[in-house]
Amino acid sequence: MNANGEAFATYLTNNKQLIDDYVLAHTPAPTIRRDQTLDLDRYLYGPVTRFVMAGGKRIRPALCLLGAEAVGADRTAGLPVAAAVELFQAAALIHDDIADQSTMRRGEPCVHKTHGVGIAINAGDAALVAVTTAIVRNHSLYKNVRLQLLDEVITMEEHTLEGQALDLGWARDNRWDLSAYDYLEMARCKTAYYSAAVPLAMGALSGGGNVEQVEGLRRFGLRTGLAFQIQDDLLNLVGDAEAQGKDYRSDITEGKRTLIMVWAVEHLLDQKKRTELVEILSSGTTDPEQLARAVDIAQEVGALEHAQSYAKTLINNAKTDLSKIHIAEEARRVLISMADFFIERTS
């Protein structure tokens, strides 16, 4: 980790236990008679709780706390929305793993592999219900603030579903007639809103932030969240193969539309290489030589360099915008570090 991202890495470490304890206390729980709780724990609440608490850096909920601090509030003001965001993340991942037919998540078998598809869908739905519950039933928040936060949740869910629809639809129809702009719009919807923009905005709202602060933090989050996704795309192709294990270059196997591959296909003038790249991306291959060949073709046309450059531009523009917002200086320092962390991380 470069020194520029250390302040945010430290912020994550210092707040993880606080977030874990609060999220655990607000995971879904039985609402019916006591003699059914053992079965409900087995078939619904246990799988949800185990998945939520199984791992993750807690970046999104940490941003809720940071959003509250940015507007001058105590970090604990962001805890209700931190729980909501983390529960949304759990629901999205459980459902994504079913849609993608994945087998492993966070080093463990996916919920649909251990409990079956039906129970996994229901567990994901329970986590989604808990997103709303974490806000609506939290009476430490004023009613008008709760309504604003619910609107943020709805917006986040709408954008995420739209992005997921494009991602799944393009894969289903084997679409490679896409532009880099198409990819960026999809990734902005699918990732940037719920990974950074909405957590920061909701944290600021919970902390009593004004419109300038909330919208400024949202813009900052949209840019940095998109850079976060591009870095994910890059790490899958050129990151630590040993650390990633079977996931290394899995984006190629799964034919995922990433900025690197979409840009490469769009800009390859050599029709033979373009056809070869699309064939590899459409084949589902796990052959290391074929995976390496796809990366080589993308490298030759400058796609990896373009993705790195674009992510850095997003980060630089985000920092410039942040300098114009009236927020707490310590929070500004950590947010700037967060921007660097997003494109410096190696996992």
Q: Compute the distance between CA of residue 291 and CA of residue 272 in angstroms, rounded to an integer.
A: 17
The alpha carbon of 239 is separated from its chain's Cα centroid by a whole number of angstroms, namely: 18
Whether the Cβ atoms of residue 224 and residue 339 lie closer than 8 Å to each other? yes
Condensed to tens digits (0 to 9), the pLDDT of residues 112-152 reads 999 999 999 999 999 999 999 999 999 889 999 999 999 99
Question: Is residue 247's pLDDT more than 90?
Answer: no
Q: How far is CA 183 from CA 30, 91, 111, in A?
A: 41, 23, 29
Helices (H), 140-249: 143-172, 180-187, 198-206, 211-238, 241-244
* 291-313: average pLDDT: 97
Helix (H, G, I), strand (E, B) or coil at 347: coil
Question: Is residue 34's pLDDT more than 70?
Answer: no
| The overall pTM is greater than 0.85 | yes
Whether the Cβ atoms of residue 86 and residue 53 lie closer than 8 Å to each other? no
pLDDT at 33: 64
pLDDT at 105: 87
Question: Using CB atoms within 10 A of its CB, is residue 287 exposed (0-12), middle (13-18) or buried (19+)?
Answer: exposed
pLDDT at 102: 85
Condensed to tens digits (0 to 9), the pLDDT of residues 8-23 reads 999 999 999 999 999 9
Instruction: Quote the strand ranges of the chain, DSSP E.
Output: 104-105, 108-109
Q: How far is CA 31 from CA 35, 36, 219, in A?
A: 11, 10, 39
Among 28-32, 154-158, 189-193, 260-264, whose mean pLDDT is lowest? 28-32
